[in-house]
Structure 1
């Protein structure tokens, strides 16, 4: 090894040592606790094969171990041991991550207190709950009474729940909703006491966090952005879909919903012909036939334990998991499917837990414990039904692709179901002689719906006659799986947009036109989600638009050279007329009003864009005093400006931007606005630039996003879009960010900087009497001002001494004014119901 290599090795070793020391100093409690878990596992000899029987009986939590133990505090050792090496590794990771986060957020002493309090309380309360259950004869408590439970995850989970009381609404909501969703899935579908202890520990952690942090500054539900609601809804649907899968994978599941989860399993697996014959002999009297026929049916029944049966059991869960993936992307089709499938699962639960016990066609007799059965029924129905209802209530957050595709998917799914049901009925009736026992028309009609339901929900005793072979047997086995495959394919086909699986051809064409250059400052908005695109025959010009209530609202001006403006506008108008749409060019430059007047169109002012010219930007004079003071204050406080893009952000900085945005949305009394106002999704575009204000600790104090305007592949200007600040940031931080942006653009040599227009706000009243649409927009601006502060925003922009450029709306038919006003209201506030919009228009017209 050369001297250089040796020096490099020493430097790397020294760097690793320094990083390790810094890590230990930042979270000493979590490191010590993780080391304690490993040391105890090694010393006790449980590192390789898990704790032995004597050690488990000495420290394990549970009823029988607690009764037999002379020194009960040993039970607290149940949080310091894992059942096997895999669980030990996961527990160590959980402690290092979750307790480590707590240390960094609330300090080592509080984190250690949370760890100890939740460990002691969870173990004591958990055993007490089991004791009460055993005393009243609760079946689950009796079944797990002899278990000696180790639960090393409980205090780590309790600690992170304690921390949730110290974080902002974004992470507080995420930690609690996702944490409890996962815990409830384990408790309900796996059911071993470790899940109960973890759930109790999480609840105790919530209470302990409330004691340490005090009540939150704001009570009640805080509004979430579309982006956040989609993430949370997607996770909840995935967790509830994974619950039955958890049951199928668990060793001896005993959870309250484990029977429900097992309904998705292969109930025929492992059943001998003798077992199936015995089950068949318990068929209700009104369906009794000769014993020989029953056992013959049982033999045929055993032969259907094959791929179709397993596929029919698992495909509904696969459909839900795929729907969860698309819910994260806001797909309305995925919402429809998730609501429908969860509704079906709730219906299946009613069938299994209510209808079949009453009719005597279930495989067991859950009525032996009436109270437990009622509670089980309520929970089994409430989980999928509650998920379906919650998704339906939140449907306004899932508006992507809510048009023709949605109706087409519904038609395909329902139509294919009807066709397959009819086909099976016809094939079954033609081949009715192959059924064992014989089948009549009524029995065949009753059997048709069962083809689409997992066999576990029907039950072995509830299954009707089974065909011996041939085409009838193929139809009997494959009708249900084939339909669920159609649902899955239709979901994917309806929810996938071109950009999901391959380059978005249309968006790529639009981006090429945007880069080539288009008049105005808002051309980049043409690329936003929610837009549709119309192209000229030669593909060299386009119009970005969105249809709202029969109105085609364009996003600014056509993407075309100035000399083609008249041609493209008229061609787009003719196309809209052919489609039964009314074209409205929104937020176009006021200087184009004479052009639209020549076409015989009407124009109305909709805002004033504030434009600066970086080449002449200077902050001299009394009018700039506030801006200069903000720059000086930022320098004094160690705040710096950083010009970057989202793809280049450090993960910690990106998370802070998301949190700041969610805090802003949560403070509003009205839903997040859209149309010409971008959000988190829009600032992730690779062409969009960000200007951040960060302090010495890399805390994001404010963030702005800037949309580029191109000419011949070069950026000639930037337009302000997204603008958020941390609530506790220094005064004047936004002035600092805007001024820093102007200075950065001056160095870039761009032609203009647009602070954009404040929607529904102008510097003064329009000349002449107000039209109906102007009155609608004025009323909207007045109503929304307290929540969104558009007029206040316009006043803020005046500090930078901008040039005011009028923006107008152009449309061909003045008769459409009330409809245009309604469409604009719904474009900016898509969450408003149709009735609310109609009442709004009636109020001001």
Structure 2
């Protein structure tokens, strides 16, 4: 067992300490409402002023709530969460004695403080980007808002306040009461005094709680790619984009990129919640993939993020596996080889009939590079694509570009289908896969169009592929494709049949089986795709992050709008990529249609494997 695994299994590990902090937080919160606290508080009042037990009870309850909130950040190894937990558990040790001589709870908090201090070395994760600015805003505006609320409360509930109390007295009482300090207002009864102290202390604790929650709130990632970084990625795609059919999607606007020290490879990812979610294989020279993966893992470890990859190929999964991550087969990608594709034969009868029927109805299809389309045509396609979309948001992350018709994507291909009246009824949008292949980004058709429109566009695309310089085409991704294929075979075992039955049931709510059928009828080559994760315990978090990234789990519209405004205000520019050589930063070379690639000289001291100089059979 490695030292890191031993650490994760010990009582001082972030995982176990987060559970203990959660337990202590719940205990502190529930002890406030214990039946015997009133009797014990009476004994304390004989030794300390009357306001102390009430303020201590409020403070202990607030600390309990904050410790519960901190437990999640502690699990990620956050240094800031550790500092707060140490301070609060030490303070709770005293408060439990002041509020009612709660010796057991006090000893529990003291033990937690000692355990946290002994585990200091395990909590080194830095704060998430931009969280410091948000905390400063809360700490600046929070007391003002809480003071205003306290003043309004004191001005409304005047029962028990001595005569002659002024507005200034109430304002100072509200401000000082947030800190638990008595103010200038005089009360005519102990009940009114205690009610005021406790209520204002609750407001002060609320400000602290909000600040803690904001401080521990996960960010959306370090920053989107800068222009310099985008140029580096484009240069890597020009040389090595042929390796992975998903490589071009690394330029998706919401993604970030982290580079190997030599600048010859990069991992494209997005931080979703507390998960650093990469997609596809690393971009660039495969010999530099381990260094890029290492840089990505180091960043995730530094910020306490959970690393995962969605949709990498077998080659990429092998690289991630060597980096110490676990791998799970997720499904298969359908790839059509132009030279082998034909509508002839019995196996293609269904596709052939659909194409013939649609053609007889007057539907025609055309294939054009985006850079050759007129602006008004692009505008019309954008409108139609949005109108035909299922749902209110654009789905996709690992296998979708998220934009259409931009000048930077001029080499993309648009396939359109028009009916006999000249109306647009379907479209395919494909991005470059190296210099001699295409990868499907978008597939849409009108709800009023008949069956066969998609088949006609695919058949036309394959027919026109030689003119476009494409030798193969990557179509849709089929989740758990092997389950459907194996479950249909004669003699399939009970486990695979049960698994297939569950997927068929799930297909009622998501297009799982139908997507598999839509691809299988073309008899493509199936290339496996994988999910990469750190430990099985991370799978629920990773699955949630993947569903969020792919827009299957979507926040309300008002919250998405607020998030966009926050990113526009807080957005930071990225730093230059360290160690990137001048050759990697140069503009992409002119597109070539040949299958040969020039050999590149390795960067001294960075690469341990020979660089590839041709396309090999290990592509999939």
Q: TM (normalized to structure 1)?
A: 0.37
Structure number with greater CO (CA < 8 Å, separation at least 6) is 2
Higher helix share: 1
Bigger Rg over Cα: 1
